[in-house]
Amino acid sequence: QVLLAESGGGLVQAGGSLTLSCTASGFIMGNYHLGWFRQAPGKEREFVAASKRPGGTAYYAQSVEGRFTISRYNLKRMLYLQMNNLKPEDTAIYYCGASTAAISAIRQLDMWHSWGQGTQVTVSS
């Protein structure tokens, strides 16, 4: 059973930084792509970043490219999202998920599963 739990969200001023953590249990991390999605009020959940299994290439949404960095440590069972130069439009609940999709579909929401409870990120202007 794939279990994921996010933490590390909070309130930060525009231009600030936060690091989100995702703790994994119940599965072999190296067998899955791991990623971050976010959902702002009134909007659909959207792709943010993904780390290709077993621990290689990173993929980013254009809106966060150059500001966010995804990293994974399979032996520690942890996934991270370092977020720098945060903007008010980054305000959302952030979720980590797992996927075994083809790389061509890695940005598609319906290819991901096993979401955690989410962690709120609020960026004030």
**Interior angle at CA 121, CA 109 and CA 7, nearest 5:** 80
Residue 22's pLDDT is: 97
| Alpha-carbon distances of 41 from 84, 88, 124, rounded to whole Å | 22, 13, 15
Which residue in 18, 21, 1 sits closest to 122, CA to CA?
Answer: 18
Residue 74's pLDDT is: 93
Q: How many residues does the chain have?
A: 125
The SS3 assignment for 103 reads helix
Residue 33's pLDDT is: 96
Residue spans of the chain under pLDDT 70: none
Q: For residue 78, give both structure tokens.
A: 């942890």
Q: Beta-carbon neighbour count of residue 61 at 10 Å? A: 16
